[in-house]
Amino acid sequence: MARPRFSFALSASDGKARTGLISMERGDIRTPAFMPVGTAATVKAMRPQEVRESGADIILGNTYHLMLRPGAERVGRLGGLHDFMGWERPILTDSGGYQVMSLSALTRMSEEGVAFSSHIDGSKHMLTPERSMEIQRLLGSDIVMAFDECTKNGATRDEAAASMERSMRWARRSRDGFDSGGEHAARAALFGIQQGALDQELRRVSAEKLIDIGFDGYAVGGLAVGEGQEAMFATLDFAPDMLPQDKPRYLMGVGKPDDIVGAVERGIDMFDCVLPTRSGRNGQAFTWSGPLNIRNARFAEDKGPLDERCGCPVCATWSRAYLHHLVKAGEILGAMLMTQHNISFYQQLMAEIRASIAESRFTAFARDFRAGYLKS
C-alpha cells in the first residue's frame, strides 16, 4: 500500500497541547517533534544512524548553506540530500530567508527577492521565492518552507507590517513555484510561515493570507530572534490559535528545553534548534536537572553519568570525569559524545511530552519538568 504524500492526524490533546502523527512517503513523524539541525548535510558530530537511534524522525537541512556549498545543482546530480548524506527519513529544508538576512554581507532586498554576497567567498547571488523552491526541489526536501523575510527584532509596527506583507506576497509566489515542481511537488509538502513580529493584529492578517493561499502546514516565524522568552510566550498565547487546527504548527528556531515545553503548552507541534549540537561542541550538556557545563573543575573526578535519568549510550558508558577530560583536552570525541547525549536528551524530552499528552497528564509533567530543570 502506497504511503501518503502528506497527512496529519491528531491522536490526543491536553489543554492546547497536542500529539499526533505526520505521515509521508519516507516515514512517519511523531508530534510534538524536535528536528535536529543538519545545516550543511550533517548533524554536526553525529552519524545519521546515531541521530535516528536517538529517536529523531526528521531532520532539518539548510537551503542557504547548501546552495553555496556544495551547491544545490551538485546535490541534485548526486541523487538529492537523502542519498548524499545517508539519511533515509524525512527532511525539512528551511527557505534560506533567515540566513540571507543574518549571515550575508551586502544584502539588498527588493520585491523580487534578496541579492547578497556569500559569507564564504563573497560571490554574488540572488535568492527569490522561485529560486528557493527550485533549490529545495533539487535537494529533494520532503517538507519545503515558503520563502519569507524574517522581521528583525525591534522593528517598528510599520516596518513589521511592511515585512509581513512582503512575506505574504512571497508566500503566494512560493506556492506557485512549488506547484510547478512536477514530480517533487507530487510527493513533498509545503509549509507557509506566519509573520507579524509581536503584534496580534499583524499575526492575524498574516494567518488569514496564508490560509487563503493554502499550505500543508504552518510555521510561526519571526520569534526566537532576541525578544526573550516572556515576549515569545506572550505571542504564542495567540499566534498558533490563528492557524488551522488540523494542520501541523512549527515554531522555527526554538529552542531551550523549557522553551519547548512552554510552546507545546500553547499548541506547537514541531521544533528545530542548533542549541543541542552547538552546546554539545562547547561542553554544555542538557539534563533533567538543568544545563551542565562539563568544563567545570568539579567534574574532574566525578564518576557519575552526565544525567542519572538519561538512558542514552553516552550516559550508560562514560563518566562525567572522562567527558570533562575530553572536552578540556579538545578531543574530537568529546564534542561527539556531548552532542550525542544532547540530541538523545531532546528526543527523550519529546517522547515524554507525547506520552504525557496521550495520558492526559501534560500539565503535571510540565510543572514537574520546570521544577527540576529550572531549579539551578
Grid coordinates representing 172?
503566494
Establish whether 94 is a catalytic residue.
yes
Closest Cα partner for 223 from 293, 148, 276? 148
CA distance 176 to 267: 29
Residues 110, 236 within the same domain: yes
Check which CATH number belongs to the domain holding 206 and give it: 3.20.20.105
Residue 165 CB burial class (10 angstroms; 0-12, 13-18, ≥19): middle
Q: Is residue 1 part of a domain?
A: no
CA distance 338 to 127: 35
Which of residues 272, 296, 323 is at a domain's end? 272
DSSP string, 149-204: --PPTT--HHHHHHHHHHHHHHHHHHHHHHHT-THHHHH-EEEEEE--TT-HHHHH
Which of residues 223, 241, 272 is at a domain's end? 272
Residues 212, 320 within the same domain: no
Q: Indicate left, alpha or beta for 229 from its phi (over 0: left) and psi (-120 to 50: alpha).
A: alpha
Tell me how far apart the terminal alpha carbons of the chain are, to the nearest angstrom: 51
Establish whether 241 is a catalytic residue.
no
pLDDT of residue 119: 85
Residues 230, 311 within the same domain: no
* Tens-level pLDDT at each residue, the chain (376 residues): 678 999 999 999 999 999 999 999 999 999 999 999 999 999 999 999 999 999 999 999 999 999 999 999 999 999 999 999 999 999 999 988 778 777 665 678 899 999 988 888 989 999 999 999 999 999 999 999 999 998 888 999 999 999 999 999 999 999 999 999 999 999 999 999 999 999 999 999 999 999 999 999 999 999 999 999 999 999 999 999 999 999 999 999 999 999 999 999 999 999 999 999 999 999 999 999 999 999 999 999 999 999 999 999 999 999 999 999 999 999 999 999 999 999 999 999 999 999 999 999 999 999 999 999 987 5
pLDDT of residue 96: 83
Max Cα distance, the chain (Å)? 60
Question: Which position among 148, 199, 269, 272 bears the catalytic label?
Answer: 272
CA-CA-CA-CA torsion for 185, 186, 191, 192, nearest 10 degrees?
A: 60
Residues 183, 262 within the same domain: yes
CA distance 221 to 194: 6
The identity of residue 336, as a single letter, is: M
β-strand 105-109 against 189-194: which pairing, if any?
unpaired
- pTM for the structure as a whole: 0.97
Q: Is residue 15 part of a domain?
A: yes
Residues 340, 248 within the same domain: no
Contact 172, 215 (CB under 8 A): no
Residues 350, 250 within the same domain: no
Closest Cα partner for 16 from 241, 179, 171? 241
Q: What is the domain extent for residue 356?
A: 274-376
Other C-beta atoms lying within 10 Å of the C-beta of residue 7: 13
Residues 262, 300 within the same domain: no
CA distance 305 to 336: 16
pLDDT of residue 105: 59
Contact 278, 347 (CB under 8 A): no
Residues 178, 288 within the same domain: no
Q: Indicate left, alpha or beta for 113 from its phi (over 0: left) and psi (-120 to 50: alpha).
A: left
Which of residues 272, 302, 335 is at a domain's end? 272
Q: Is residue 102 part of a domain?
A: yes
The identity of residue 144, as a single letter, is: V
Q: Is residue 129 part of a domain?
A: yes
CA distance 333 to 350: 26
The identity of residue 301, as a single letter, is: E
Residues 361, 239 within the same domain: no
Residues 315, 327 within the same domain: yes
Question: Which position among 14, 94, 199, 269 bears the catalytic label?
Answer: 94
Residues 223, 257 within the same domain: yes
Overall domain count for the chain: 2
Residues 165, 308 within the same domain: no
CA-CA-CA-CA torsion for 264, 268, 271, 276, nearest 10 degrees?
A: -20
CA distance 278 to 280: 5
Q: Is residue 130 part of a domain?
A: yes
Q: Is residue 55 part of a domain?
A: yes
Helix (H, G, I), strand (E, B) or coil at 72: helix
